[in-house]
Chain A
Amino acid sequence: MPSPKTRAALTEEHAAFVCGPHSVIASSSSVDGLPSMARCLGCEVSADRRSVTLVFHALQATTLLRDIATTGRIAVVYNEPATHVTLQLKGRDARPIPTPEGAEALAGRHIEAFMGAVAPLGFSAELVRAVFLGAATPVAAVQFTPEAAYQQTPGPKAGARLT
């Protein structure tokens, strides 16, 4: 079996999917094994597909960011609302990083695209803005190496490891 050092856990197809206009939720766990979670405002994959950067609303993700800083554990689920295609990535080396240049622009692009994706399902742009953006929008970023990808599309195969 190829080691993570020789092959990226993310295929090109998965990398494209996780950067799409999907509903994205990240979770971590405390040292006591209690879960934390927050909505993600945007996702970016490095060119070699070995590194994923996530952007959060800092106020929405306080506990998640603390747990990530403490345990490095992360699980992120991506769901395409119209098709229910769902993918989960996991990693063990997640860490908060200084907010990269362009993080706010990434969040802005993701939210705009997401508005377009859910409008046909009856969700207004105002609602999407309300859910993602509070009155103030301090952006925080997290980076991790995806070690495994799991299919989460509803059905008996949900949970199957893909890479």
Chain B
Amino acid sequence: MKPSVDRIRHCLDSGIPSSIATCAADGTPNVTFVSQVEYLDDEHVALTFQFFNKTRENILARPRALLYVTQGETGESYRLSLQYLRTENEGPLFERMKARLAGIASHTGMSGIFRLRGSDVYRVLDIETVDGVAPLPAPPRRNLLAALNKSSTAMAACTDLGSLLDETLAQLRQGFGIAHALLLVHDRARGRLYTVASTGYRESGIGSEIAFGEGVIGVAAQQRTPIRIAYMTNDYGYSRAVRDTVQRSGFDELLRTEIPFPGLAEPQSQLAVPILAGGELLGVLYAESPDANRYGYDDEDALVTLAAQLGAMARLLQEADEPEPVAAAPMAPAPATGAELLVRRYAENDSIFIGDQYLIKGVAGCILWRMLGDYLRDGRNEFSNRELRLDPALKLPDFSDNLEARLTLLNRRLGERCDALALHKIGRGRFRLDVRRPLRLVDIPRA
């Protein structure tokens, strides 16, 4: 029978180290332990290449190996006959394994010793169940397919991006038992990701940014592959990543416009899944946990599927945001009363401050500034996505930019930071700006 790695995949994530036997050209055997076995597909696995050792020498001379894997909860054990194919030293597989190895190294006190030189890819020729083992019953597991079913149904009922994001997080909590999660959107023009929704944190962190390549989120985005770490490691921490960015910049102004990343200070488990649609990266779904080894291959598969649906739905809602014919005359703006609201815009980075409080920057800052200007000059308070897309002053990267995500980000930041301004959807591709206090706009030009 054809060997199926899928059927024994749960043994590859085991806390019990696997071992590998190889033979030298003269037939002398060699046996050693393996830090990590990575599932590739039903017929392939990859092992870490870290040191130029005897195993390395042997597989290059005689490309056959035997791998012994034991499941960490049941004890079931298998021998996999392997054929060495190639070594990858960059790209998605390499980055996946590098991140996972960093967690394992940290967990086993081997940080600074384990270093991934390459991912050795093997074809699995045969899988033999080890006789004479008496496996324990597998502990009960959450039914991820049932959770996916429920999530898909709930997400498919959403009619706008904001509710889709919130529903996704609600489903992660209820169906998957994931208490800490973030949804980030890809800003293609800047090569960064910004948080649009989160669950499980004291501060929402909406608007906080991650650069490509930073932490598991940045690497998942850069490589467009899921990144999963089972143990706490400083190598993929965000608080440090954000702190480093601030230290590098040296500008006070930048410090003031940095929204802190909300994630756990020391997550034991992390899983970042790219949200892809139509061949493009829309963002990243990130889940983390204070518990070690919380996410396995099945969790990863479930979240990849969920992220695919989220991506497809987000794309669909974006394409459907062309305005409907206006059904009624625009409502007159409600009178703004109370103390004057000072809004400053720094042209340097399009950052907007409400009073002394930083609100938003970049494209979302530009959009707000334009609407506030229209409101003061012409008394306008209704806008369409289409006019924003076509406005060259807004510097939207291109037509397919996820404008809806930027508006969601802007509205959520307003909700958190400013009770005098709000956006309300009033139809497909149209929204109203509510201004509840008199405005004074101050534009600070570039220095």
Contact = CB atoms under 8 A, between A and B. Distances in A.
A71 B26 CA distance: 12
Contact of A126 (B28, B54, B109, B136): B136
A73 B132 CA distance: 23
Interface in A1-58: 23, 25-29, 31, 33-39, 57-58
Contact of A73 (B29, B32, B130): B29
B53 to A, nearest CB: 4
B32 A36 contact: no
Interface string A142-158: 00000000101011101
B31 interface: yes
B70 A37 contact: no
Interface string A47-88: 000000000011110100000000101111101000010101
A154 B110 contact: yes
Nearest to A71: B27
Given A25-B19, A73-B27, A159 B132 contact: no
Interface string B14-53: 0111010111000111111101000000000000001101
Contacts of A74: 29
- Which of B51, B114, B132 gathers the greatest number of chain A CB atoms within 10 Å? B132
B334 interface: no
A126 B168 CA distance: 40
A57 B135 CA distance: 15
Chain B binding site: helix, strand, loop or mixed by DSSP?
loop
A58 B132 contact: yes
B436 interface: no
A31 B23 CA distance: 11
Nearest to A81: B17
Contacts of A137: 132
Interface in B118-137: 130-136
B66 interface: yes
A86 B28 contact: no
B51 A155 contact: yes
Interface residues of A, number: 51
Given A37-B79, A123-B16, A25 B68 contact: yes
B337 interface: no
A105 interface: no
Contacts of A88: 30-32
B29 A27 contact: yes
B66 A37 contact: yes
Most buried by B among A33, A84, A122, A129: A33
A58 B17 CA distance: 22
Interface string B350-365: 0000000000000000
B108 interface: yes
A126 to B, nearest CB: 6
B333 interface: no
Contacts of B131: 59-60, 62, 134
A8 B437 CA distance: 91
Contacts of A28: 29
Contacts of B19: 25, 37, 77
A73 B131 CA distance: 23
B17 A130 contact: no
A37 B31 contact: yes
B134 A37 contact: no
B66 A36 contact: yes
Contact of B65 (A35, A39, A76, A127): A35
B10 interface: no
Across chains A and B, which 5 residue pairs bring their CB atoms closest together, nearest first?
A59-B132, A130-B75, A134-B132, A27-B21, A35-B21
Interface of A: 23, 25-29, 31, 33-39, 57-60, 62, 71, 73-77, 79, 84, 86, 88, 90, 92, 121-123, 126-127, 129-131, 133-137, 150, 152, 154-156, 158-159
18 contacts: A23-B17, A25-B19, A25-B31, A27-B21, A29-B27, A31-B27, A35-B23, A35-B29, A36-B66, A60-B130, A84-B108, A88-B32, A90-B28, A90-B29, A127-B74, A127-B75, A130-B134, A134-B131
